Structure 1
Amino acid sequence: MTKYEAQIVPLNDTKIGTSAHGTATFLEENDKLTITIEMFDTPANTEHWEHFHGFPDGKDAAISTIDQDTNLDGFVDLMETEAVSGTTMVAFDDAPENIDIPHDRYPVSDANGHFSYTQVVPLSTLQANFEKAFGSKDLQLDKRVIYIHGVPASLELPATVAGMVGDFDAHVTLPIAVGKIKRVD
């Protein structure tokens, strides 16, 4: 068994009015990857996209901070995270092995801003689809970061906040928390 963990810390908290935080664990055993994420103090009653991001070439990804706010609008948006964190790779939705990103099948926080997510994924299927998408079967979890996204549509965002993905606007894709995934021995 191989175990990975991430301590998830707030991002954009001074602008969104909550300090989302939590933990993620990833357990690889046999042909299964068990993903468990628990989040607190997220925007309430909101769907939260969650993914791991990284670089297809295996470069070590880092978490974004306010330093990535290149347009100085006070928000670190999805596009601004790419320089240090890479691209969106695997969704933590109802079927992570499918690597299907833009949809509305992600966890929704309760009235207190809490949600818990657990999914057991067929590792060989995930690896095969990961190889099709990114050229390698190796997930390299210890070179990835996890992002939690999503704020209510009622939150006023400046036009400079980028993040339109398909039919989903920046309210859906705005990062609210991030954590570096580390191997635990």
Structure 2
Amino acid sequence: MTQKYVAKIVPLNADGIGTSAHGEATFTQDADQLAIHIEMFDTPANTQHWEHFHGFPEGQAAQIATMAQDANHDGFVDLPETEAVSGTTMVPFDSAPQAMNIPNDTYPVSDAQGHFAYDITVPLAALQAKFKEAFGTDDLELDKRVIYIHGVPQSLTLPDTVAGEVGTYDAHVTLPIATGKIEKAN
């Protein structure tokens, strides 16, 4: 049986980054594979954009962050500030989601107009096995997850209070620019 999920992706941190990134993601689960399509508009141009779904391993439903999550009032909702409502980073939408290797350089890069489209079909069993290894369950529970699009140019001046370092990647890479709640499609 085929099950489809959709997320309408809305801007986050638009005032601070100077653009209102938006788009849509669809996830189509069919037998032994998961087809993922993400199309984004008005992202920071010529920039690599990390993208993931976030959630709570315990199973509660994640919600998208809004500017209300700007706990330190620096004008930006950074990655750590999303965790209270959105949970942790779970699955990357990079060249191999099933590997669940978050920090890498195989994410989409936007064009000069800030557009990119991402399409991949993932072997579901491999993704579920890696997900179970990381989170103790093989149920992706997509309708309890949220998607985040991240990334601003290194040239953008961010306050020192903006956090989100992951390995050797700084807050420019991890700053959320858009988010959406994943929901079951009719």
TM over 0.5: yes
1:44-95: CA deviation from partner (whole Å, max 9, x where unpaired):
0000000000000001000000000000101000000000000000000000
What do you get for the CA RMSD once the two structures are aligned? 0.3
Normalising to structure 2: TM-score of the pair? 0.99
4+ residue runs over 4 A deviation:
none
CA distance in 2 between partners of 1:91 and 1:160 (Å):
25
1:110-160: CA deviation from partner (whole Å, max 9, x where unpaired):
000000000000001000000000000000000000000000000000000
Structure 2 counterparts to residues 8-87 of structure 1, below 5 A: 8-87=9-88
1:19-51: CA deviation from partner (whole Å, max 9, x where unpaired):
000000000001000000000000000000000
CA distance in 2 between partners of 1:88 and 1:104 (Å):
16
- What letter is aligned with 2:143? D
Which residue of 2 is the match for residue 121 of structure 1?
Answer: 122
Structure 2 counterparts to residues 68-147 of structure 1, below 5 A: 68-147=69-148
CA distance in 2 between partners of 1:49 and 1:75 (Å):
17
Q: Percent identity?
A: 69
CA distance in 2 between partners of 1:30 and 1:62 (Å):
28
Structure 2 counterparts to residues 142-181 of structure 1, below 5 A: 142-181=143-182
CA distance in 1 between partners of 2:54 and 2:16 (Å):
23
Normalising to structure 1: TM-score of the pair? 1.00
CA distance in 1 between partners of 2:118 and 2:67 (Å):
27
CA distance in 2 between partners of 1:168 and 1:105 (Å):
13
3-state SS of 1:171 partner: helix
Structure 2 portions without partners, runs of 5+: none
3-state SS of 2:35 partner: strand
- What letter is aligned with 2:6? E
Structure 1 portions without partners, runs of 5+: none
Which residue of 2 is the match for residue 5 of structure 1?
Answer: 6
